[in-house]
A and B are shown apart, each in its own frame.
Chain A
């Protein structure tokens, strides 16, 4: 090759990389479930993702302090809460201190007759009042009587108490020294609500950091801080994946580098070997960024795994380069095979491009672009940078043993057949579903942390919302009115025992319409006073006692309905904002359900209101469904990819027999690989599927090289050694990941390491040419 094209090639490679880097700099990376969303999600799916991303439940951080005696816990809790309340990262911090918060009480007290669901015509008639006064008398006689007598004069019907009960969580935690405790008083409990949603991991990380720092400043050892909640878990997960991936990649890199260095005896060549896959990754990210506007974290993780095959390309080039000839010379023979190998992988992944799931389509684009670029860099850039005199000298020694092994390999064909038969039987007979459909199977949150979360949630009475009714309307008032109608239906469902209870934004902020109706039902002052006089006849209440009541009802008759802005600064505002949200095309009100016994029954009650736009959303079921359809789609497109590979090989090899020779070892490897995990009792997840796809990608190169017989014995020897090193580095690189405690790394690592080894062995054993080596 002349000098000019060489320079031209290098410059265009470098400027292409720079362009990709510029694109990546402007690409947004997202890190939430939306990767699993179909391109045109259903309203339920969209709501689900919104809820998990920014919903109020996703923004709760549960905090516990333990390991010191209760008095110290209580003061630690107070100091921590005080520090966090001053931090703008938190919308609210609750540790029980402000339970009967004065601003809440103030609002409830002032607006009690407009807020109380009991305010209706007849409530304050003479008969109605008589009933109320008789009940009061009973209450006064009871142990709570002395307490009740305090608000009796202004609030004989006990509206305030009822409104407070409605607002409080069902089971309040234990308190001591005014702050929340676990039932055994071993932990002080707090709840912090972050401003950012759980999906904003950087913000969550900052929030978790603030809590830890504030605790460090305010608490003395040996007090311990425990944190749980969705945001905390996404932070921990990222930390764990990062630290594991980092640590294990380091181990793998050192091992592989040592191995390849022993083979190449040149640091420069070792470094060059990374260029194809690095260029491929950069180009892949840029392509997805251009095509989709943003890149899912999951695309990145899986994508880099899928183009792992690119590492092998350099090994094939370096090891198969003949002695004393330029690197380009190696391609004369290996390029057709390598090209077919790349095309096979690209075919395999291309089916995903057409998926309705953005996550899968991104993954398809990423791996196709990445592999083509990696192969192109190997073909046109690497030879320019490889020293002309470079040669892997130790091939001859290694080759002798390998040749002997490969010649003996075909004797093991019956063993492979038996293995495959056993694997098929195992997969077919295994009880239960082969593929896990539980989204939690993807969660790398360790069991211990999940238990802590449940424990704290239980002790705090914090919502663990699974089922909610979501209503939608054009205006805020419309959404509140719709929520009230749904509440009426749910009340009836409660009477029939279908559920235990529910919450609604309209409980805390009734619609204007409802408040006006309640206001209109309050009797005029004179009528009320007459009703009261009649009702109190013969009862031992002090005369004139209820003057404050008469005054407050009269005031309520002239009061403007309560609006959202009146709630500012109270915990009522938080509650309403969590359950009533503005969306692009209107307002949504959320009614979380408690203790649902009959989901379809409840849904039927809600569906009886045809004029209301509503859905009953089961967060767990919906997210499992989402994952399931993603997995189904991925499986479908993986099979589509297999069909594409078949067509490609048939077209290029033009021999059914050779197509079979190439594919049989791969199929056998995939089946046996999958059965290993099934035998271990694990359900397969999307991670295993990605691993198996990579096994097909790297394995197709092995079987293609075995299929295309080299002419000279030196070439055969070099081919074999390059395959061995490619496979060993794959096994090391991924095998190390199998030792990770993080589900995703463990699953992908184990699948690929075992699969690559199997693919190489099976390729040799099933090769028609092995005995001629």
Chain B
């Protein structure tokens, strides 16, 4: 089907936005959002992530690219302030920086799994997996929605109190992570400039 051709991707996004306006169905909800997200074959974007940490006097800012390919590959390539590459594929998470490359088997690291599924299952429109780890609630409308994910696992709850994801149509705009100790990180995602 559709593979990682960015032009096609951009077209799809535009189509999605267009469809949203022309085809505003009366009963729009979580299943419909997930279906729409599920239909996306691949996507590429730029991100800017700002971390507000109590230990620092100023927020940390990171930026780079995000690449998604259905059904299960997600890559976060941080370019600034230091290069780091995170690749999630199937059940393996690989983290690589200048010095070393480590791989983690997700089935052996349930907390890590829960963490990465917040992003991957959302992009894949995989509600079943998402609900295995989180209580999911949706607010807003198709043109401007907000998902709130609350971890169901106690260990996970001690690290993340909530994950907020917002977007329009099949596009994810921001991912916000709330730490129970008050720390917070916000990632804004924008289409890659041509």
Residue positions of A touching B, CB distance < 8 A: 137-138, 140-143, 145-147, 149-150, 152-153, 171-176, 178, 183, 185, 540-543, 545
Contacts and interface: CB of A to CB of B under 8 A. Distances in A.
B55 interface: yes
A140 B107 contact: no
B104 to A, nearest CB: 11
Given A141-B81, A147-B159, A174 B60 contact: no
B55 A140 contact: yes
A146 B54 CA distance: 10
A175 B110 contact: yes
Contact of B56 (A171, A174, A178, A542): A542
A140 B54 contact: no
Interface in B45-62: 51, 53-58, 60, 62
Nearest to B84: A142
A141 B108 contact: no
Ranked 9 nearest A-B pairs via Cβ: A540-B58, A174-B108, A540-B56, A542-B57, A146-B179, A149-B55, A174-B107, A540-B57, A152-B55
Contact of A173 (B78, B97, B108): B108
B165 interface: no
A558 B86 CA distance: 43
B82 interface: yes
Given A141-B60, A540-B58, A149 B53 contact: yes
A599 B153 CA distance: 46
Given A141-B62, A147-B159, A149-B183, A542 B107 contact: no
A655 to B, nearest CB: 78
B177 interface: yes
A173 to B, nearest CB: 7
A140 B60 contact: yes
A175 B181 CA distance: 25
B95 to A, nearest CB: 7
A541 B183 contact: no
Given A143-B115, A174-B108, A174-B110, 11 more contacts: A138-B82, A141-B62, A141-B82, A141-B84, A143-B86, A146-B53, A147-B159, A171-B108, A174-B107, A175-B110, A183-B108
Contact of A140 (B56, B57, B108, B177): B56
A100 B82 CA distance: 32
Given A140-B56, A141-B81, A146-B177, A172 B108 contact: yes
- Prevailing SS type, chain A contact patch: loop
Interface of B: 51, 53-58, 60, 62, 78, 81-82, 84, 86, 95, 97, 105, 107-108, 110, 115, 155, 159-160, 177, 179, 181, 183, 185
B190 to A, nearest CB: 20
Given A140-B60, A141-B81, A149 B54 contact: yes
Contact of A183 (B62, B107, B181): B107
Nearest to A178: B155
A541 B55 contact: yes
B149 to A, nearest CB: 16
A141 B63 CA distance: 11
Contacts of A145: 51, 53, 60
A558 B101 CA distance: 39
A178 B86 CA distance: 27
B41 to A, nearest CB: 26
A209 B58 CA distance: 62
B55 A542 contact: yes
A449 to B, nearest CB: 26
B59 to A, nearest CB: 9
Contacts of B179: 146
B54 A542 contact: yes
A140 B53 CA distance: 9
Contact of B181 (A150, A541, A545): A150
30 contacts: A140-B53, A140-B55, A140-B60, A141-B51, A141-B78, A141-B82, A141-B84, A142-B95, A143-B95, A143-B115, A145-B51, A145-B53, A146-B160, A149-B53, A149-B181, A149-B183, A150-B181, A171-B108, A174-B107, A174-B108, A174-B110, A175-B108, A175-B110, A540-B56, A540-B58, A540-B60, A541-B55, A541-B57, A542-B56, A543-B57
Contacts of A543: 57
A140 B51 contact: yes
A141 B58 CA distance: 13
A541 B62 CA distance: 17
A608 to B, nearest CB: 30
Nearest to B113: A174
Contacts of A185: 107
Contacts of A175: 108, 110
Contact of A146 (B57, B78, B86, B159): B159
Of the candidates B56, B81, B179, B183, the one having the most CB atoms from chain A within 10 angstroms of its own CB is B56
Contacts of B57: 540-543
A430 B105 CA distance: 48
Contacts of B78: 141
Nearest to A183: B107
Nearest to B178: A146
B55 A146 contact: no
B83 to A, nearest CB: 11
Contacts of B110: 174-176
Contacts of B155: 178
A141 B62 CA distance: 7
A52 B158 CA distance: 44
Contacts of A540: 56-58, 60
Contact of B55 (A141, A142, A153): A153
B60 to A, nearest CB: 5
A178 B115 CA distance: 17
A154 to B, nearest CB: 11
A99 to B, nearest CB: 11
B105 to A, nearest CB: 8
A145 B86 CA distance: 14
Contacts of A142: 84, 95, 97
A173 B107 CA distance: 9
Contacts of A183: 105, 107-108
A174 B105 CA distance: 9
A137 B181 CA distance: 19
A141 B183 CA distance: 13
Nearest to B81: A141
A137 B60 CA distance: 9
Nearest to B177: A146
A62 B161 CA distance: 37
Contacts of A545: 55
A183 B181 CA distance: 33
A146 B158 CA distance: 11
A174 B110 CA distance: 8
Nearest to B59: A540
